[in-house]
């Protein structure tokens, strides 16, 4: 399969990303030897490259992000953006005063799949520092996606901080009016909205884990979608995250059946855990997660809504893990 892992990291992240690499290699990649692309807004140092290369069974690639993709675009009023950051800092909104976090969200939303190192690949699996994989993965997840017609996937979903995206849905509605041709039939609007698209319920797939199709992200539909959002300035005038941006795109531009929930990829990224429901299921996959930590069926998770939107049967025992 023409696929790669992809990680956005800094040199200072080395000892946290190696934890993730070990997890991915031990639970999955030692069987499949996929490549790994590392991207940074500064050059990677030799220590980062040497240590990560030694741990990865596939080929490693190290790239620097262009200034164009990690800076304020010309159409952004930087004084207005500064005032927004100051206001968010006062209101103690998470990452509200951070410039680099905004560059990261914009890059992950619109540019990572265009980086020269990514161009030769068709599929990606996003990995962030300090994650855990709790279960063995004994099949090729990329091949599964291709063979089953999937283009985007997730393991955790939840509601976004309302204060970070007050006008995101307004921009999405503008896009829908401008480009009705891009909206998929049998899409997942029901997952995003309780009133057929008038308002957004803030559900999103947690994008620190994603396995997806790069050709979809490079498509005209996604390009038009991202450009509409980018021009509206919400990455800098608010604090739009790549998670709701990707999630809304997948839910509107893809058919319902093209989005996959990887129940068997048991995953942790602070502070949430996906631990598969079902005792025998976990035993068969040599899992070491505590089922009591499973976030899927809690009140702040949107995974139950995903099952209902897709008319999927919830696993036996899910009620025992609700709040």
Beta bridge pairs of residue 35: 4
Q: What is the DSSP letter of 28?
A: I
257 in catalytic set: no
Q: Which string of DSSP letters, residue by residue, matches 227-294?
A: HHHHHHTHHHHS---HHHHHHHHHHHHS-GGGEEE-TTS-EEETTEEE--S-HHHHHHTT----GGGB
Place of tokens 């849905």: 169
3-state secondary structure of 212: strand
Q: Which helix (H) or strand (E) covers residue 7, if one does?
A: strand 3-8
The token duo for 276 is 């598969």
Q: List the catalytic residue out of 210, 257, 258, 316.
A: 210
Nearest CA to 159 out of 195, 123, 116, 193 is that of 193
Residue numbers annotated as active site: 210
């Amino acid at each position: 399969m023409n696929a790669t892992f992809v990680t956005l990291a800094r040199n200072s992240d080395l000892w946290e990303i190696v934890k993730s690499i070990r997890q991915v290699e031990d639970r999955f990649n030692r069987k499949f030897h996929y490549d790994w692309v590392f991207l940074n807004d500064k050059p990677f140092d030799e220590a980062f490259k040497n240590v990560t290369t030694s741990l990865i069974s596939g080929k490693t690639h190290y790239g620097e992000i262009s200034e164009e993709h990690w800076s304020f675009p010309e159409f952004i009023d930087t004084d207005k953006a500064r005032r927004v950051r100051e206001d968010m800092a006062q209101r103690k909104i998470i990452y509200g005063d951070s410039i680099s976090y905004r560059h990261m969200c914009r890059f992950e939303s619109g540019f990572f799949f265009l980086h020269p190192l990514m161009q030769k690949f068709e599929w990606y699996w996003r990995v962030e520092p300090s994650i855990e994989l709790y279960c063995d993965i004994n099949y090729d997840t990329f091949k599964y996606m291709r063979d089953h017609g999937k283009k985007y996937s997730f393991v955790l979903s939840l509601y976004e901080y309302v204060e970070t995206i007050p006008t995101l849905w307004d921009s999405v509605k503008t896009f829908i009016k401008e480009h009705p041709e891009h909206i998929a039939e049998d899409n997942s609007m029901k997952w995003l909205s309780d009133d057929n698209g008038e308002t957004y319920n803030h559900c999103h797939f947690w994008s620190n884990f994603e396995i997806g199709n790069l050709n979809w992200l490079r498509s005209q539909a996604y390009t038009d979608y991202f450009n509409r959002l980018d021009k509206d300035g919400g990455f800098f005038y608010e604090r739009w995250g790549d998670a709701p941006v990707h999630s809304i795109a997948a839910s509107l531009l893809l058919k319902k059946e093209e989005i996959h929930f990887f129940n068997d990829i048991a995953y942790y990224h602070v502070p949430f855990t996906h631990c598969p429901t079902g005792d025998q299921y976990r035993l068969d996959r040599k899992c070491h997660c505590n089922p009591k930590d499973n976030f899927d069926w809690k009140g702040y998770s949107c995974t139950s809504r995903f099952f209902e939107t897709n008319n999927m049967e919830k696993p036996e025992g899910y009620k025992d893990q609700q709040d």
